[in-house]
Amino acid sequence: MKNQLPKVLMLGWEFPPIINGGLGVACHDLSCAMSELANITMVVPKSSPDFKVKNMNLIGINNIDPNSYADSFDNSFNNKLPFKLHSVPSDLNPYHSEAINSHNNPHGYRDSSVMGGSEMRESFNIDNLYGGDVINKVFQYAEITSNLAAKIDFDVIHAHDWMTMLAGIKIKQQTGKPLVMHIHSLEVDRSGVDSTGWVYDLEKKGMEYADLLMPVSNFTANNIHQYYGIKKNKMSVIHNGSIVVEPFKSKRTFKEKTVLFVGRLTRQKGPERFLDIASKVLEKNPDVRFVMAGVGDYFKSMLEQSSYKHIGNRFHMTGFLNQEKLRYLFSVSDVYCMPSVSEPFGLSAVEAAQFGIPCVISKQSGVAEVLSGALKFNHWDVNKAASDILNLLSDSVLRKKVVEDASHNLQNITWNNSAQKIMNAYSSNNFI
């Protein structure tokens, strides 16, 4: 019947209460917006049974008996894929992994074919979905989810990032339903453009197998085309949206102006560039404080380098902060700086703009495409970034213009817009 809502099987890895980065936020906010336009069944490794949204059925594997849906692991799973994958590393973090070459690292690898039914146990009722044997979890998720899918009615499969690609491929194989892959982040973002190894291999072959790709920015679409060889006509760019936040100002405990960085302290986010930018700003204006909020592999080196550069008394590292404390930081900050080396989108800049903070962001980011009011620099040009920050701190007219321009941009950066574009893409490709 034409008046029935389309049915979407959504495959996610993060979902509240388990959020390690922007992926969990995006999956939650996007699926909630899409539930106004479609019936959504979302399958994730872990969820809260208290989650309730109209037209949305959230299934957390931690809340079911996985043995009811997991057969003895098929030893020929890898051979049944429409492409061949190398043997897999046994410990891998999808947010920050060094490029691993399966031919040059014979140790620490695990062949998927040796996994038996005894290993198909409940392994998702944990807070860190990226700890331990992540790849084993990815295969278990694919096995359990594909068996679940046999009992679900849906029109289209919508998978988010590489962790759910195997599940999407397996479900497409058994149902023939169209497979959409939503690309929030790539291995070339995390580990550099020379990335090799299992995750890159899966991303490339999975995206080739999919019927449609939905990168979160033109920046990501260009990376997919350049580094994975996929044609642009197979992509429909869906920029992220944002939830409207009521901004507020708080009383600060110090008199200096504040420049804020929020993000994982990994190569991708450019934390060392933030440190260089801080050093250059402080040479011209010592009455500025720089705050770096986040955790990651670079935390210790950032701490050491700030001391080495003799700016430690003006450079503060907070570690992990919850949403309430992050919003307090936004409420007392004067400039937001995002020096990412390769940023598929960059929701933190949107959050800063919502608080009326002028943003200085790298051109190598997706958010630069929609936050046109921000000041932009090439991630390697720390002199330009430092100059922009100094100008925003001293020039009230410039500051006002940047904030007002961003305020106009925010009216179009909504999850409802993103959801409608997805539904339009489904329709134009005859998926629904």
Q: Give the span between the Cα atoms of 362 and 417, in whole angstroms.
A: 24
* pLDDT surpasses 90 at 92: no
Domain pair 7-241+415-428 / 257-410, same fold:
yes
Say if CB 273 and CB 280 are below 8 A apart.
no
Say if CB 300 and CB 275 are below 8 A apart.
no
Which pLDDT tens digit goes with each residue over 265-320? 999 999 999 999 999 999 999 999 999 999 988 898 888 888 767 787 899 999 98
Two tokens, residue 298: 């670079």
Where does the pLDDT of residue 187 fall: very low under 50, low under 70, confident under 90, or very high at 90 and above? Answer: very high
Q: Provide mean pLDDT across the span 328-336.
A: 97
Nearest to 207 by CA among 193, 221, 194: 221
Where does the pLDDT of residue 46 fall: very low under 50, low under 70, confident under 90, or very high at 90 and above? Answer: confident
* pLDDT surpasses 90 at 15: no
CB neighbour list of residue 190: distance below 8 Å, 6 or more residues apart: 94, 95, 96, 97, 266, 267, 268
- Parallel, antiparallel or unpaired: strands 257-262 and 315-319: unpaired
Which pLDDT tens digit goes with each residue over 58-81? 998 888 876 666 554 444 555 566
**271 prior amide bond cis, ω within 30:** no
Of residues 369 and 193, more confidence is placed in 369
**Residue ranges with strand state E in 190-238:** 212-215
pLDDT attached to residue 345 = 95
Range scoring the smallest mean pLDDT among 110-119, 154-163, 203-212: 110-119
Two tokens, residue 85: 């994958």
Q: Provide mean pLDDT across the span 370-383.
A: 96
pLDDT attached to residue 309 = 77
Q: What string of DSSP letters covers 316-371?
A: EEEE---HHHHHHHHHH-SEEEE--SSBS--HHHHHHHHTT--EEEESSBSHHHH-
Of residues 96 and 338, more confidence is placed in 338
Two tokens, residue 403: 């904030």
* pLDDT surpasses 60 at 198: yes
Range of 77-86, 127-136, 251-260, 357-366 with top mean pLDDT: 357-366
* pLDDT surpasses 50 at 380: yes
pLDDT attached to residue 304 = 85
**Residue ranges with strand state E in 81-133:** 88-89, 109-110
The CATH class, in words, for 257-410 is alpha beta
Domain ranges of the chain: 7-241+415-428, 257-410
Q: Please determine, looking at this structure, whether the domain spanning 7-241+415-428 carries the CATH number 3.40.50.2000.
A: yes
Q: Rounded to 5, what percent of the chain is helix, strand, coil?
A: 45, 15, 40
Which pLDDT tens digit goes with each residue over 170-181? 999 999 999 999
Of residues 172 and 48, more confidence is placed in 172
DSSP code of residue 66: G
Q: Provide mean pLDDT across the span 2-26.
A: 81
pLDDT above 70 coverage of the chain, percent: 82
Two tokens, residue 100: 């691993």
**Local structure of 82: helix, strand or coil:** coil
pLDDT attached to residue 69 = 64
Say if CB 328 and CB 303 are below 8 A apart.
no
Nearest to 353 by CA among 204, 221, 239, 245: 245
Of residues 401 and 76, more confidence is placed in 401
